[in-house]
Structure 1
Amino acid sequence: MYNQLVSYINNYSTTPLNDSEIERIKSIFLPKKLRKRQYFLQQGEVCKYLGFVVKGALRQYSVDDRGNEHIIRLSIENWWAGDRESFTMLTPSLYYIDAWEETDLLIATQADLSTLNELPAFIETKNRLDDNHAFALQKRVNATISLSVEERYDELSKTYPEFIQRFPQHIIASYLGITKETLSRVRSKAVKK
C-alpha cells in the first residue's frame, strides 16, 4: 500500500526518498478503507484529511436545491481526494466525496502533512501537483465555456479514458455538465465516426 505512494512521490521528484524519509511517510499516512457509496466527506463538515487513492474510485460533488448532483472531480488510483479549500482554510465543505467503488486510501491531516515540508522529494512533488492541478482546472473551465458537448466528451475520453470505463454514464454526464440523454447522443455519434 505504501509502496504505491512512495513510487508516486519518487516519480514526481528528482530527489528520491531515502529509507528514513520513507519510514516517516509511512508514519504520517494512515490506511483507510471505504465501502462503495461510503462518504469520505459530507457537505458542511470540515475536510480533516487528504487521501491518496491506492485502489478504487471516488467522486466529489455538490447537490443543488432540486437534488441534482454536480460532479466537480473524479479520483482514481494515484489521485488525491479531498476538498482543498476546506482542508486548507478549515471551513465547512460545500461538497460531498464518496466512494464509487470499494476504495483504499492513505490519509493524512494538514498538521501531519506540514511536517513533511522538510523532505525535498515531498516539497517537489507537492509543487508539481499544485501546478498540475491549476493547469487541469484552467483547461476544464476553458472547455466548459468554449467547447461543444462533443468536443468536451472527446477531450475527456482522450485525456482520461479510464473515467469513461470506470464510471457510469450519469456520472460522466454530470461531470461534463450535461444530461444522460445528451451524453447518450454524443456517444452514439462518436461510435459512428
Structure 2
Amino acid sequence: MLRENKRQLDKAIRELDRERMSLQQQEKKTVAEIKKMAKEGQMDAVKVMAKSLVRNRHAVTKMYGLKSELQAVSLRLATLKSTQAMADAMRGATKAMRAMNRRMNLPNLQNIMREFERQNERMEMTSEMMGDAVDDALQDEGEEEETDNLVNQVLDEIGIGNMTELASAPVGTRVAEKPQAAPAMAEAEGGGGGIDEDLQARLDNLRKS
C-alpha cells in the first residue's frame, strides 16, 4: 500500500511539473502580447491580458507550493516504509528469541558450563604435570650426560680411558691397568707425588658405583 501511494504521489508531482511548465510558456506568450498591444495603444486589451498574466503567475506559485507539499508527503511515506521494515525485522527477531528461550534449558546449560569448567581445570592440571615431568626428565638426562663427560675426562687424565671402555673391560684388565696410572701421573707432574687427591676420590667413587 505504501508503494502504491508513493507511486501515485510521484505521478501527481510529474503532472504538476508539466502544468507549471505549460503555464510558464503561456506567461511568455502573454508578456509578448502585452508588449505588442501596448505599442499599438490598445490599453484596454493590455489591462485584460495583464490580469490574465497575474492569475497565471499566481497559479505557478500555487503549483510550486503544492509540489512541495506532495514531496513532503512522499518523504513521510518513505519514512513510514522504513519504520515498517524495521518493525518487521524487530518482530522477526523477537519471535526467534522467544523460540530460543523456549528451547533453551537453563539448568541444563548451567550444568554444562560447570562440567566444562571442571574438565578445563583438570586438563590444565594434567598439562602442568606433564610439563613438569618432561622438564624433570630432560633435566636428569642433561645431568647424566654431564656426569658421564666429567667421569670420562677424569679417566682420560689418569690414563685409563673412557667410561664405556672401562665398563666393557674384564676385571683383571681393570686391576692390571691400575699400576700404570701412577707412572703416567708421575711423569705428568715431574715425579712429584703420585695421583692428586681429588682425582683419587673421583676414581674411588667410580669404583664404588
Question: Normalised by the size of structure 2, how large is the TM-score?
Answer: 0.20
Question: Normalised by the size of structure 1, how large is the TM-score?
Answer: 0.22
Q: Which has the larger radius of gyration?
A: 2
More RCO (CA 8 Å, sep 6+): 1
